[in-house]
């Protein structure tokens, strides 16, 4: 195809690569396949059910991340931790990308790592965009994700036809800003999840019907996306993951524990986020790290002796 950027994106011309086919990545890749894009993916376990499902939808499986990079115009990654992102992108994918191809990391990762990836991509003649997402499994399935896109603005604009299938992108600044935005997002959603949990626990103890309580506050100031997505799941004890709790702990940790620049001006005092992190960490310590973060209600219930 030659160099894809700035050639316009189209399903008939643009070859998409994908790494990371968990709950979120699988749903996102499936949407791109449904939109008519040719998609090749790499999976560490080629016989994983999601790998087989993607193949049944028309996707092709690559033998290695490097081979995938050679076959892709735009290559998405959606993996777990910065420790997964670093070797995958810096050591395997970027050196194999063709000139002017674009790597898009949707993993919730570290801002400084995103800047390093962007710099190395440009040195190798390619581009890298950090574009973590929010919206959970429902947003990934329905194409309503919030996408925090950062890096070269013109490249983000060029990617709009793909992003629009996955959700709504917002350009938030130069490389690394997407990851900083996601950390701030997690601080906010953590507060929402803890608030909904405590409201439900109080309502139950007060003798209210939890579903009537949620319906009653839905349209008021206490209404939120978190309430819409997770309220009923919390009531039903449905803690299937849209995103793992251990990832919430990782994301909050990057906000609470990490000072990037190493000087006093970089310190941000976040007492609430520190508390949310402790509550989600208690889920991990209780063996619930692979459950959805809405399971934090079980921590509040446990403190109140309600799920002994």
Q: How many CB atoms lie within 10 A of CB 262?
A: 8
Q: Give me 114's structure tokens.
A: 């995103």
Contact 133, 172 (CB under 8 A): no
Assess whether 204 carries a catalytic annotation.
Answer: no
133-134 and 145-150 as β-strands: parallel, antiparallel, unpaired?
Answer: antiparallel
Annotated catalytic residue, options 153, 154, 168, 182: 182
Active site amino acids: 182
């Amino acid at each position: 195809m030659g160099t894809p950027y700035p050639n316009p994106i189209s399903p008939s011309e643009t070859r998409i690569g994908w790494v990371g086919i968990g709950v979120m990545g699988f749903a996102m890749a499936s949407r791109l396949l449904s939109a008519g894009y040719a998609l090749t993916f790499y999976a560490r376990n080629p016989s994983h059910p999601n790998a087989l499902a993607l193949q049944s939808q028309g996707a092709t499986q690559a033998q290695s991340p490097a081979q995938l990079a050679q076959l892709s115009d735009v290559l998405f990654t959606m993996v777990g931790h910065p420790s997964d992102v670093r070797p995958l992108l810096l050591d395997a994918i970027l050196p194999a990308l063709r000139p002017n191809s674009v790597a898009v990391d949707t993993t919730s990762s570290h801002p400084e790592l995103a800047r390093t990836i962007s710099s190395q991509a440009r040195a190798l003649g390619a581009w890298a965009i950090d574009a973590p997402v929010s919206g959970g499994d429902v947003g990934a399935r329905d194409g309503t994700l919030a996408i925090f896109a950062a890096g070269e603005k013109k490249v983000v604009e060029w990617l709009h036809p793909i992003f629009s299938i996955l959700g709504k992108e917002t350009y938030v600044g130069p490389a690394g800003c997407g990851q900083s935005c996601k950390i701030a997002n997690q601080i906010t959603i953590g507060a929402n999840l803890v608030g909904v949990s405590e409201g439900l626990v109080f309502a139950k103890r007060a003798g209210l019907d939890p579903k009537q309580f949620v319906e009653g506050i839905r349209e008021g100031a206490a209404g939120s996306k978190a309430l819409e997505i997770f309220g009923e799941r919390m009531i039903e004890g449905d803690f299937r993951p849209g995103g793992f709790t251990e990832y919430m702990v990782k994301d909050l940790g990057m906000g609470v524990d990490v000072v990037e620049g190493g000087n006093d001006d970089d310190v941000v005092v976040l007492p609430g986020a520190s508390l949310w992190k402790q509550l989600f960490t208690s889920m991990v310590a209780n063996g619930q790290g692979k459950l959805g973060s809405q399971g934090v209600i079980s921590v509040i219930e446990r403190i109140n002796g309600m799920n002994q």
